[in-house]
Amino acid sequence: MKIAFIGLGNMGGPMALNLLKVGHTLSAFDLSADACKKFGAEGLPIAKSAAETVADAEVVISMLPASAHVEGLFLGGAGKPGLLESIKPGTLVIDSSTIAAATSRKVAEAAAAKGVAMIDAPVSGGTGGAIAGTLTFMVGGETGDLERARPVLEKMGANIFHAGAAGAGQTAKICNNMLLGILMIGTSEALALGVANGLDPKVLSEIMRRSSGGNWALEKYNPMPGVMETSPASKNYAGGFGTDLMLKDLGLAQENATAVRAATPLGGLARSLYAAHSLAGHGALDFSSVLKLVQKAG
């Protein structure tokens, strides 16, 4: 297939490379010249603009930071036309950004009016999953459009779930990330408490991993430096999923909870804690660095 890929960040770049490796024809773009240079050096064909990438595309994939970026890209604004003006009817758009469900529905409706099919397909699995092609996709949209997208999604991920209509993928994603943020704080508190009492963090981690406190952070993403070689914690919290990105997702969860009048007290507390962590200068570090908030000094 001819695929346009827009957004070459820590997640988007590896996802695009996986599609290139299996033989798809790619045209990619990012506003960051550094990102274009980095992935261009790895063989990814780089276009001069987003509009150029979609000229002959059968599938358009976007992986952008926030709602405003997705809406601006596809719908335009400030006198600039959106990408939907350049995408030919019949094209399938897959937006893998994590954004507000309402924004996904708004853009999908505008796409449908242009004869363009669109699904929201945010991901879980982190940069490791993006590189390995083992991401989980949470999809919102029509069943037929998902089936059109499935052969493409399968080259980037290991799990594909149809959550419901347009925007449902985004709702599933923010529920998942709200839980992840809460779990990481709880895991950090437990490890910090144990270490403050003289326990070996590796031993404690294994005890909890095999007990009722077991969770994904203990299995795959330990927040304590030196416990798990592959986790960002053992790399000075570099790479991974940034604190500010987690803060954004927790904000989306709270906005959604307010809109539907759902009670999410732990989600709200988690957002406040990550906000404090970010204000302390840790916004660019992996979100597991929230351990620093609860860790005993010295």
Distance in angstroms (rounded) separating the CA atoms of residues 98 and 52: 24
Contact 30, 6 (CB under 8 A): yes
Contact 186, 172 (CB under 8 A): no
CA 20 to chain centre: 20
Non-local (6+) Cβ contacts of 165 within 8 A are 140, 141, 142
**Residue keyed to tokens 């809460």:** 182
Distance in angstroms (rounded) separating the CA atoms of residues 112 and 144: 14
CA 150, 152, 158 angle in degrees (round to 5)?
A: 70
What is the number of residues in the chain?
298
- Whether 173 is catalytic: yes
Start-end of H helices in the chain: 12-21, 33-40, 50-53, 67-75, 101-113, 126-132, 143-153, 168-196, 201-209, 216-220, 243-260, 265-277, 291-294
Out of 173, 202, 220, 235, which one is annotated catalytic? 173
- The HSE-up count of residue 153 (CA atoms within 13 Å, CB side) is 27
Catalytic residues: 173
